[in-house]
Amino acid sequence: MENHSHGKNILDRIVEARRESVAHRKRVLPEVALKMAVEKVDPPRDFEGALTRRGLNVIAELKKASPSRGMIRREYSPAALAPVLEAAGAAALSVLTEEDFFSGSLQDLKAARRATGIPVLRKDFIIDPWQVWESRAAGADSFLLITAIVEDQALGEMLALGRSLQMEPLVEVHSGEELDRALAVGARIVGVNNRDLRNFEVRLETSLDLVEAIPEDCVAVSESGLATHDDLARLQSAGFDAFLIGEQLMKEADPSLLLRELIGPVGLNPISHTRA
């Protein structure tokens, strides 16, 4: 077993574990049961609209742990954190639901959504349409699609399925080639991850390198490595509509204080950008 996994990067290991987990869960909970559950949940909130408000739109991420940092927040209660972040100005929330590497769960997402009125994104490694149904059944308003781990046909199918459920997904890219693929299948919300998921190195310039290639009619989101108000203002001026911030917030005793600093006075935020 050790020889089989030798040489695999972090992303490979996460996806392999996710495939095994999804295969098991599909046997326990068939898709037909999820479709019945979807009929009983509240309608989705407008994730896309939340990211295009006036000002600096932050998707505040609830994350207990990560492969690169280990335990980030020991006192972790999504039900307590979510309303505090909403009150501090978060436009939306992102909740990690991957169990093995991030210590998350769908219960975390459900708790966060019950405690707030803003949209909630399911942050996970989604590789199967079954997970899209699972996301909506759990109350998610959007979900993450990582271009690096999904082939084009599956990417397009899950994008279309999300839209049919009124959940516009956040389609994540890390390179020009991945951006081209995301746009080719019709992504409307494009996230540029400054963190390379293969080695977890963070480089803010990744967003600046790719932003001009994101069409004006797409919502552009910069993810990871954002530490200051100036970072957000600079990226907004370059063309980004929203910003996903997790570790910086979660390692703070009171994440609401940092979130208020990051957003800054609303009247001072630039609202125009130069994206082509």
By annotation, the residues acting in catalysis are 61, 63, 123, 172, 193, 223-224
Q: Which two tokens stand for residue 23?
A: 């295969």
Residue 275: closest CA among 239, 249, 245, 248? 239
Residue 92: closest CA among 144, 149, 132, 158? 144
Q: Which two tokens stand for residue 263?
A: 């957003």
CA distances in angstroms from 206 to 20, 50, 141, 203, 236, listed in the order given = 32, 24, 27, 6, 14
Q: Is 203 exposed, middle or buried (0-12, 13-18, 19+ CB in 10 A)?
A: middle
Q: Cβ(224)–Cβ(200) under 8 Å?
A: no
Amino acid at 180: D
Query: How many Å apart are CA 188 and CA 174, to the nearest integer?
Result: 16
Q: Cβ(262)–Cβ(242) under 8 Å?
A: no
Residue with tokens 């020991």: 74
Query: How many Å apart are CA 176 and CA 258, to the nearest integer?
Result: 32
Query: How many Å apart are CA 138 and CA 169, to the nearest integer?
Result: 15
